[in-house]
Amino acid sequence: MEKILDRFLRYISVDTQSNEESETQPSAMKELDLLKMLCEELNALGIKAELDEWGYVMGTIPSNLGKDVPKVGFIAHVDTAPDASGKDVKPQIIPDYDGGEIALKGVDGLFLKPSEFPEMRDYIGQTLITTDGTTLLGADDKAGVAEIMAAAEYIMTHPEFKHGEIKIGFTPDEEIGRGVVKFDVAKFGADFAYTMDGGEVGELEYENFNAASAKIHIQGRNVHPGYAKEKMKNAILIGMELNSLLPASQRPEHTEGYEGFFHIISFKGSVEEADFAYIIRDHDTAKFEHRKKMLREVVNFINVKYGEGTATADIKDQYYNMRLQVEPHYHIIEKAVKAMEMAGVKAKIQPIRGGTDGANLSFKGLPCPNIFAGGLNFHGKMEFVPLESMEKASQVILNIISLFAE
Give 209 or 355, the one with higher predicted confidence.
209
Q: Which residues touch 5 (CB under 8 Å, ≥6 apart)?
A: 93, 127, 129, 387, 390
Active-site residues, by number, are 79, 174
Are 217 and 275 contacting, i.e. CB atoms less than 8 angstroms apart? yes
- Cα 198 from Cα 101, distance rounded (Å): 25
Give the closest residue to 309 by CA, choosing from 211, 378, 218, 183.
218
Q: What percent of the chain has pLDDT over 90?
A: 94
Reported confidence tier of residue 2, pLDDT bands at 50, 70, 90: confident
CA dihedral sign, ordered 61, 62, 64, 66: positive
Which string of DSSP letters, residue by residue, matches 316-333? EEEE--THHHHGGGTHHH
The DSSP bridge pattern shows strands 203-205 and 102-103 to be: unpaired
Are 170 and 74 contacting, i.e. CB atoms less than 8 angstroms apart? no
Q: What's residue 168's pLDDT? A: 98
All domains in the chain, ordered by first residue: 4-207+321-405 (3.40.630.10), 211-319 (3.30.70.360)
- Cα 110 from Cα 128, distance rounded (Å): 17
Q: What's residue 177's pLDDT? A: 84
Mean pLDDT computed over 201-211: 94
Which string of DSSP letters, residue by residue, matches 244-275? HTS-GGGSGGG--TT--EEEEEEEEE-SSEEE
Give the closest residue to 264 by CA, choosing from 249, 280, 283.
280
Strand partners, 204: 349, 371
Write the pLDDT tens digit of every residue in 377-405.
Answer: 999 999 999 999 999 999 999 999 999 99
**Half-sphere exposure of residue 20, counting CA atoms within 13 Å on the CB side?**
13
CB neighbourhood size of 293 (10 A):
11
Q: What's residue 314's pLDDT? A: 97
Write the pLDDT tens digit of every residue in 119-131.
Answer: 999 999 999 999 9
pTM of the model: 0.88
Reported confidence tier of residue 356, pLDDT bands at 50, 70, 90: confident
- Cα 375 from Cα 120, distance rounded (Å): 11
Q: What's residue 236's pLDDT? A: 97
Are 205 and 350 contacting, i.e. CB atoms less than 8 angstroms apart? yes
Write the pLDDT tens digit of every residue in 278-332.
Answer: 999 999 999 999 999 999 999 999 999 999 999 999 999 988 999 999 999 999 9
- Cα 113 from Cα 117, distance rounded (Å): 6
Nearest 5°: phi and psi at 93?
-110, 120
pLDDT score of 1 more than 80:
no
Q: What's residue 152's pLDDT? A: 98
Write the pLDDT tens digit of every residue in 214-256.
Answer: 999 999 999 999 999 999 999 999 999 999 999 999 999 999 9
